[in-house]
Structure formats: C-alpha cells, structure tokens
Chains A and B, each alone.
Chain A
Amino acid sequence: MEIPAQKKIAKIEFGIMSPKFIKDIAAAKIVTPELYDKEGYPVDGGLMDIRLGVIDPGLKCKTCGNKLKECPGHFGYIELARPIIHINFIGVTMDLLRSTCRECSKILIPKNRIDKYKEQLNEIGQISGVSGQRKLIKEIIANLKTQGKCPYCKAKQFKITLEKPTTLIENEKRVSPIEIRTRLEKVTDDDLELFGVNPKALRPEWMVLTVLPIPPVTMRPSITLESGERSEDDLTHKLGDIVRINHRLFENINAGAPEIIIEDLWDLLQYHITTFFDNEVAQLPPARHRGGQPLKTITSRIKSKEGRIRHNLAGKRTNFSARTVISPDPMLQINEVGVPFVIAMKLTVPERVTDWNRDYLKKFIEKGPHIYPGANYIIRPDGKRKKITDETKEQLLEEIQPGFVVERHLMDGDVALFNRQPSLHRMSMMCHRVRVLPGLTLRLNPAVCAPYNADFDGDEMNLHIPQTEEARAEAEMLMEVQTQLISPRYGLSIIGCNQDAISGNYILTAADFKVPRDVGVDMLAAVGIDDFSKLPNKEIVSGKEIFSVILPNDFNFKGLSRIYKSSPDHPDAVVEIKNGKLISGIMDKNNLGEGSGLLLRTLHKKYGQEEMVDILGKVYRLGIEVLFRHGFSVGLADIDLNEQTKNDIRVMVVDAEDEVQSFINAYHDKTLDVMPGRSMDETVELRILERLNRARDDIGRIVQVKANQKSDIMKMVQSGAKGNIINLAQMSACVGQQALRGHRINMGYKDRTLSCFKRFDLGSSSRGFIKNGFKNGLLPHEQFFMAMTGRDSLMDTALRTPKSGYLYRRLSNAMQDLKVEYDFTVRDASGRIVQFQYGEDSIDVSKSEAGKINVRKIVHSLE
C-alpha cells in the first residue's frame, strides 16, 4: 500500500466572494426551481443539477466525472433580479453609509484630520478588533462639528436608521439596495482601511448581493424515505423558494408590472435570502416546515454545540471502540482491562503479513470471524478490504502474502485506551493491556477507580483500540496506567489502595495477627507469589512477616501510621521497613492510600513504574485475601454504646440546650454581649451555632473513645478505608445541627420553621438541631430538617455541574495552545511568551514530589 505524502494546508484565508468570483467557481447557473423530472432524474439547471455533484449511487458528476462519495460537489449560482442585502453584513453596511457622504461617498472626516484619527483607529483595531474600530469611527464622526454636511462636496447629510432587520431609512424614505450598492461602490479603498475593512479582501458593494452562490448538492443531500418518496434538505427547500420568487420577480419586471407588485416580490425575495443565511433573525418570523418546526439554515448549521464547528470539526468520531458496563476484578493487574469475548471478536488489530509471521497469521484466518482468536478482515495491498467468511476463507488463505494486513481479533496483551466520561483530566483516558475474559462487562482493577472517578453502580466505560504502530507506541509510552501514577495536579500518587485493600492490610499488619505458616503461604500464593523463601520458617508467622514477603529485599522506609497523631508512643505508630522487612507500624491509608500514600510513592521513586504497579497489585490482593480468610462485616451492634456513655451524651445534649436557652433568654432581656461589628440578632445566632457545633464535636470525641474499638466499623475508620468518626457519631449518638446556607434553618412557615413550633422560637430543636442518632431514629421534625438539607445539597450539585463544566471549557479553550518550547519558555501558538520558565523552575509537577525536589531526602540518602 502506498502511503500518500502528508498534505499540509499552510493557511486558510477568509474573505467575501465577488460576483465575478461566484460566477467563476460556479459549475452551473440555476434557472428553475424544479428538482427532478418525471423519471426522477435531476433536471438540468435545477437545484439538484448533476453538475453540482451527485448524491445518487450510479450517477456521475458532470463537472468532475466522479461518482458518489468521490465528488466533493460544486457550487452553482443564480442571478438575482434585484440586489439583496446580506443580513450578516447589515451592521457594516449601515456603518459605512452613515460615515460616508450620501453624494460623493467620501468619509465624513475632513482631510487634514484623517491622519490623526488613523493612528487612533489602528490602535483600537489592534486592541479590540474591527468592531471596536467601527465603533470609534462612529464616535469620531458624531463628535465632529461638520456633522450634517460633507466636508468635501458640502452635500447635506441625513440620519440613516435601521428598521430591522434589513430596511435602511434615510430622511423618512427607504434607501433601496440598488441605491446602497451604488453608494458603496463609490467608497474609496483608502477610506475603507479606516473601517478596518481590507480592500484587498473585499469591496463593500459585494455585501449587497447581485448573484447568489448555490451550495453543492453534496452539502444538502436528499434522503429517500421507506415509501420511496424523496425528502429534501432544509437548504434545498429554502433555495427552491429563492429561485421561485426570483423567477417571478424577473417575469414581473420584464412584463412591466406595477411598482408595488415588484416591491412586494422584492421584499419577499429579501426575506427568503435573509432566512437562507440566518433563520433566527430577531424581527423575522422564522421560515418553517409544513409541520411547523423552523428550518435549519446556514447559520444554525454552523452555530452552537450541535453545529458544524463544535460537533463535526472540533469533535471527531472513531471506529474500533466499545462501550459497556464496568465491574471490578482485583485479580487483574492494575494496567489491565478485562474485555468480554463478544467484544474481543468484534474489535480487531491490524497486523501486517511478513515472511516471518505469515504462518502465525494464517491460523487466525483459518479460524475465521466466529472462533476466537480469529480474524475478521484482510486488507489487500491496494487497500481493498475483504471480509473473511467460511466461503472466502480458502481463497484468502491462498492469496495471502507479505504486504497484506490481517485484522485479527483482540488478544491478551494488546494495547487499548480506556476512558470514562466526563474526561476531566488526562487520567480519565489511560492505556491498559487487554485481558480477554468470559462475561459481558469490561473489568478493571478497583485501584484505578480513583483516576477515572468510577464506581460500579452501573457506570459504563469506553474502550478504543489504536490501529497504527505510532498510536500504539504513543499509548504505551505516554498513557499507560503506570506512567500516570502521579497526578499532575498536585504531584502525589492518584492510584493506591482503597477500601477493602486498606482495611485488609490494616488487619494483617496489626500486632495480634498470627497464622500458621501454611495459611500464610496459601494467602501469598493467592496473591500471585510463588517464592516463599522470605517467609520465616517457623510454625506461626505474623502478619507483618507475610506483608514483608511482597516488599523488595533492599527496601528501606520510615513513615508514620495514622495512630501516630493520637498516640505517638504506640509501638506501631512509626512504620519502619528495614531491608525489605516490616519491623513496626501498621499499614493504613497514610502508607498505602492514594494521595499521601507515602510507602507506594517511595517504592515508585526507587524501583520505577513497572515494579510499583506489580507491588501495588500484590498488596491490594493481599488485603482482600486477608478479608476473605479473616472475615469482615458490619452489624448494628457495632454502633452500640453502653448505657453510661449514652447517659453522658444525653447530659451533654441537655447541657448544650440549656446554654442555648440561656443565650436566648439573654437575647430577649437584651443583656447579651454584642459581638463587635454584629447586631444582636446575628450575635445570638452565632453564639448558638457555635455552642451546638461544640456539642457535636464533644460527642464525637466521646464516641471515638467509648465506641467498641474492636468493631469492624472502627477498623475502617482507624485504617482510613472508609468513613470517619463523625459518621460513626451521627449513627450512634447525635446527628447534630443541620445548616442551610451557613445558617441554622430559619424558614418555612411565617416566623417559624415548622407548624409544630411556636413563633419566634430560637431554640435548638426548632432551628434544625437533631439530637438523635440514626440508630435511635429521628423525630418527625428532625426528619424534615434532614430532608431540607438533603434537598439543598442535591440542588447544589445539580447547579454546580454545568457551572464548573463551563469554567473548564473556557479554561481549556484559552490555554490549550500553551506548551513548553525547546528553550524552556512557555509560549502560545503564535509564539508569544507567557512564561520565561515554566512555573518559574521548569519542574513538571507529575515528575516531582508535591511540586518539589526533595532535597532533604537526597541529603539523607547520601549520609
């Protein structure tokens, strides 16, 4: 297959087509609104003329001789009976008319001042573009004393107003497009430059149309309905109207019809051409289908998210992709993705036949498309694609030789891109290795849920198979999971153990975990380890010894466990790993988790990506294996408190309520100390809020100490696997104050929150303090308050998503061109320097430790 030389488009110029240009590029002059003749063949000189391109299979384009899909289409034109104003240029047209003399079309600025203003205009043109320039010129002319009189020919000037959408009124008389055109013709090129109009790109009279280009048929294809009836595109409909009215206008003019009829037809033609360009003009009723829905004409085709630019040009579609529900599989490696057989047999990888792999690839063809691993297509060197079926199989096997490409089924180890929307950061699309598995879902290791922000409540994800060597190489080198371990946002790992993996390792490495050696071997074997020589040869082994087997032998590490914060003297508070042996410390979120997971971070630094991914996978599976054997469950009893504690908490709540009441009393007696800068009302609110929050915190502290320390809930909290002490306190003791927009709940009925309270009651329970815990159950009014804040936070999320989405779109649009250049400056697309050194030190955050070079560590490592 010959690789075509890569064409490069150097630039795209914008301008306005002159009438001559329109005629020159046109392949046909359109004269009749008819589309097809009786046989259903396109009429010559009609809107579907085959000189404009073909949309029917079998026909050949008369202009270029190509068939359907090969012919790009060609423009045609119609001659308009009378000039028509172009709706999108009405603003400029009017500005030009207003600023030039109605007699001599010279700009209404005296000669001696032009140079002075020219500078000003150029300046503003640089800053705020053409529109700013035009605005300024209007201001200049309005400020000139000579207003009302041309400084050159002394002709009297009148005010021109725009009667929307396209009628210009001067001195209470309508200016006809013919008149406009003649005036614009007379504007000199020099004057045009003042308006920021480039005379090389256009002459202003071209903005008044005398000929209208007819877009090619290929851009407005008709569709054949099931009934065999043809349904035409919206643009064709509109063009039909234009041609028809134009025709009638011609006839009437030639027949010498009364002026009023001609005017009416002229206006109608103006309407049709206006809506042809833009069907959403404010003052015009949009042209509609028979059904009543507005036609989609040129402007609406280009505009908006569904328009040509954002939908088709900036957004592309792909083949070789799959999408289905995801589910977890910790037995997969972190950089693997489980692909169901059905998908693996549809998605293919092209492999080029060489002398060395011919026999290997033949096996795939022999199996065909229905037996895995087979092949679906072969591609001949001339680019012809042949489907492999039972009938063609024999022949294709004969035919195949070096240079052919076989599209074989997806197999283990192929590279694939895996993606979950919304793709908010680069880790939302990573490269995984394929693992073909039974089942119907895509599978991923739960450790990579964090970068994708995925869970398994029905999430779907997409899979793409790169089809060229370059794409595969880039995917492997730049996008594979192990290259994305460190988030470029803050320079810490984004992939780490979570949930069960953390609680499992927490249990494993706790002081009291001991199992017979053979159980330990079993566990390690399940994780994927076959060398047990590192496990001490004694009857009973400890969890720490089992964990150490995973670690490399020359690994040294010092860190802190989560318990260090509360009890630094605990024997397991400090994590110490010496020569690959875990001597002290419990593995918890601080060491294994994402973000601050320091153990993993250090492993990554020292042994590289591959090793770290391997170790992380093993640690993850070990955690789960521990839970398999040890058991892990949560029950209601886990959140029970003993009677004494319950009483203590009840007393604390009552105390808080009493104190709140005393604030309220003081408020009513006006004896409350007013806080500086606050009113009495605000002061009492703040004091109450503060007191109640303190009560909740105190209760939390008590629960932390008094709750069953051995329960599995507590283990989750302590290890950092899931939940925190406030969650626990809310379940077992007291939910606490419900806040709405930073205040206690203070709305609902008149002067009270719910009908069961007295008016102006500022007490804790009437303003949303929930003193019960979830286990006890909430009182009816508490349940209401809870629902209020619940709804509020729901609304908050619903409103936030589009807002932050738009912010993100704006940011990425503004900054997408910034890149580091070879001289380490940051520049935009046109080479303007944004930063002389990226981030003032050129450090790539994703290659650093939280954005820094860890000098301390380097110094220590050298000591």
Chain B
Amino acid sequence: MDELYEEYEEKLPLSIIEEVKKYTEGLGKMKLKKVLEEVYKEYRSSLAEPGESVGIVSAESIGEPGTQMTLNTFHFAGVSEMNVTTGLPRLIEILDGRKEISTKMMEIRLKSPHNKGKDIKELAKQIKETTFKEFIKSIDIDMVELTMTITLNDDKRESAARIAKDLDKAVKGFSFRFDKEERIIVKGSSKEESLGSLYRLKEKIKGIYISGIKGITQVLPVKRDEEFIIMTAGTNIKDIARLDFVDLEKTMTNDIFEIEKNFGIEAARQAIINEILKVTRTQGIEIDVRHIMLVADTMCMSGHVLGINRYGIVKEKPSVLARASFETPIKNIMDASMTGEADFLNSIIENVMINQPIPTGTGLPVLIMKGK
C-alpha cells in the first residue's frame, strides 16, 4: 500500500492523495492501484496547460463579480456582532494593500477554561484600552491659582493614586497630586504656565492611556460554536500576544499590514487569502481559491505586501510601456528616458501596441527553422 502511495506522491498533489486515502480505506491493493491510475488520468487531463493566461483569468474571476457586490459599508451579521466593512469597499481595501484599514478587528480566542466563558467579561474589560476620560466625573479650573481639580468617578476612586502617578509620568510640565478628598490636583510645575495651557491640558489628559491594550477601542465577548471569544474593534496583536490567557495560535486580526509586520510575508499572504474569502463568502459569491491565491502571491511576490495600483505592483513591472499604459504615462516615459531604460517587449501590452503576437497561449510556441 504505502509503496503504491509513495509512487504516486511524485505524480499527484498531496491533497488528492489524502482524499484517495479517505475514500479507499479497506480496499485491496489491485483496486487501489486502479483507483490511483484513474485519479492520475483525471488529474493529468485537468492540468492547466503551459501558456495558459492564468493571471487574466484570475483578474476576471475577481473583477467580474465585483459588479454584484454591495457597496454598503456597514453590515449587520446577526444581532450581537459588530459592524464591519464588507463587500466591494473591503475588497478594494485589501487589494490596495492599504496600511490603514477602515475597520480594524480582532477575534481573540482564549485558553481553557476561559473559552468556556469563565471570567470572560473581566478579561474583555482588561483588554480594552481605557483613557483617562472614562475616569473623570468633573474638571474644575481655578483661574486665580491656576490649578485644575479633577473629580473621579465614584467607582474608580480606588485606583486614583496610581492614575495620578501615570498622569504625572505622561505629562511633562505639570504635577499631579492626589489629595485626601480623593481628587487629583493639577498644578503647573513652573510659574510661567498660563491659563491657556491649562485649558489645553484639560483636553489633552482626557486622551491619556491608563490601562488595557493600546488600539483596542471596543470589546465584545461573543459565543461562537460552543466557544467564547472576544471580538474587538481595533487591533494590536503584539500586545495581545503577551497576555497569558490568550490562545495566540487561533487569534486573528484583519489588519494585513500588522500581520506582515509581526509574522512575516507568508502569514500576510495567507491573511490576504482569508480576508478575500471572507468578503466573497459574506457576499455569497463563489470564487475558486486558486484565483485568490494567485492575487495574493502577486501582491506578496516582492517580499512586501504591495497594492494593486501604480505605486505597488504596476511600478514593479520591468516594461516602460506596460507601466505607461496603466496610469501616469508621461511620468513613466520621462523617467525611462532619463535612465535610458530599454523595453524588451516581453509582456502582453507592448506586443499589442506594436501588433506582434502576444507571448501567452497560442502565441507562445515558436517554430525555429534553418534557413537555406
């Protein structure tokens, strides 16, 4: 048996071998050989032929259903989930390779026993980024003394001393003291502080980070298929990874750039595939993964995530005319003239321009003959 499989492992992709194993359990050797032979025959006839324009087919397969997608940015998936950018805007965002995406999100999986719901609300609260704003009850400014008195919310008082310290560290030029009435008194450390700067400070300290994980603006514990997870708005995989109750291997973020930064280009490629699949699935559009993989591979080929635009992939093209025919022709031609670039007419568009057969498909084979 095993040698049979070994023989075919050379010829067939692993995924197909696995499937054969699944369906032929308990079959005799002769029969198995016959099955493998048939599967191999079928596989051979399903191969993409050399010269096949797989790039254009993938572009069509993703571009064509684009007209059927919705433009609605916000979408309710069920009742208790969050708002997400979906549909065409999200697809454009992914393929653009944007660094800042419009709705960052994470799905944090938890280690046992938290994934069964233990302390989930507390954990969620712990993750959420809290700014000083949430502690403030009122702020009073003494215009004569040039001091500011901050009264804290009743339920947050116990941590007030620590907060005062945090604030002291974060803001320079002012001193923060914690008084007996559990208020925070702010005073300028030098005498020149004006009333104006005090007012500016009042706005500034509202945004000062106190606890939680930076970037996580909203948290929501959700039960999904018997497992409790935390969904968040905003991402910060680096800091989340440091929490010991998080199951990092299953935790996901939708920020491709962040994935590239922290896990490398291969992870980013997979993330692009997953994110595009997510879009097509929510829109009820069928696109074969192969096309999505090819797009993701094209975007990641250079080692960085490049967008499909004139600053990304198109810029990488070696042909001047191919670049010029996409966008900004003048700039491309001018730059080419300055570097003395030569266009070797290898790709499709240049050959269309000069009326020569294109080097794909039936234009690929050439006949070489000896002249007399």
Q: Which residues of A are at the interface with B, using a C-beta cutoff of 8 A?
A: 6, 8-16, 88-89, 92, 128-131, 196-198, 200-202, 278, 299, 302-303, 307, 309-310, 313-314, 316, 424-426, 474, 478, 488-492, 675-677, 686, 689-690, 741-742, 796, 799-801, 803-805, 807-808, 810-822, 824, 826, 828-830, 832, 834-835, 837-848, 850-851, 853-856, 858-859, 861-862
Contacts and interface: CB of A to CB of B under 8 A. Distances in A.
Closest 10 A-B residue pairs measured CB to CB?
Answer: A201-B340, A818-B55, A808-B63, A839-B290, A829-B347, A804-B66, A815-B55, A198-B340, A841-B13, A844-B48
Interface stretch (B67-75, B99-107, B188-196, B248-256): B67-75
A807 B352 contact: no
A196 B35 CA distance: 61
Interface residues of B, number: 114
B195 to A, nearest CB: 35
B95 A807 contact: yes
B80 A813 contact: no
B88 interface: yes
Given A12-B345, A858-B38, A488 B293 contact: no
B112 interface: no
A845 B290 contact: yes
Contact of B340 (A200, A310, A861): A200
Given A202-B338, A841-B15, A803 B92 contact: yes
Given A14-B336, A130-B335, A202-B340, A742 B74 contact: yes
B59 A815 contact: yes
B159 interface: no
Nearest to B92: A807
Contacts of A309: 321, 324-325, 329, 353
A811 B296 CA distance: 11
B308 to A, nearest CB: 5
Contact of B47 (A812, A819, A844): A844
A195 B313 CA distance: 23
A819 B344 contact: no
Interface in B136-180: none
21 contacts: A9-B345, A11-B343, A13-B342, A14-B343, A16-B338, A129-B315, A198-B340, A278-B330, A309-B325, A424-B60, A677-B218, A807-B88, A814-B308, A815-B295, A819-B52, A829-B347, A832-B301, A847-B45, A847-B47, A847-B48, A858-B38
Given A14-B336, A839-B48, 4 more contacts: A129-B315, A425-B64, A819-B364, A861-B38
Contact of B288 (A690, A826, A851, A855): A851
Interface stretch (B16-24, B201-209, B259-267): B16-24
Nearest to B287: A489
Nearest to A846: B57
A11 B297 CA distance: 29
A50 to B, nearest CB: 28
B288 A814 contact: no
A862 B27 CA distance: 12
A105 B205 CA distance: 53
A196 B49 contact: no
B72 A741 contact: yes
B337 A15 contact: yes
A686 B38 CA distance: 55
A316 B358 CA distance: 14
A309 B83 CA distance: 43
Contacts of B361: 478, 819
A819 B51 contact: yes
Contacts of B318: 829-830
Contacts of B91: 807
Nearest to A815: B55
Contacts of B321: 12, 309
B56 interface: yes
B66 A675 contact: no
A804 B324 contact: no
Contact of B286 (A310, A489, A824, A854): A489
Contact of B62 (A89, A811, A834, A859): A811
Contacts of B197: none
A488 B55 contact: no
Nearest to B65: A489
Nearest to B340: A201
Contacts of B356: 6, 8-9
Contacts of A853: 16, 19, 39, 42-43, 46
Contacts of A810: 95, 308-309, 314, 326
Contact of A816 (B295, B333, B348): B348
Contacts of B52: 819-820, 838, 844
Contacts of A130: 335, 338-339
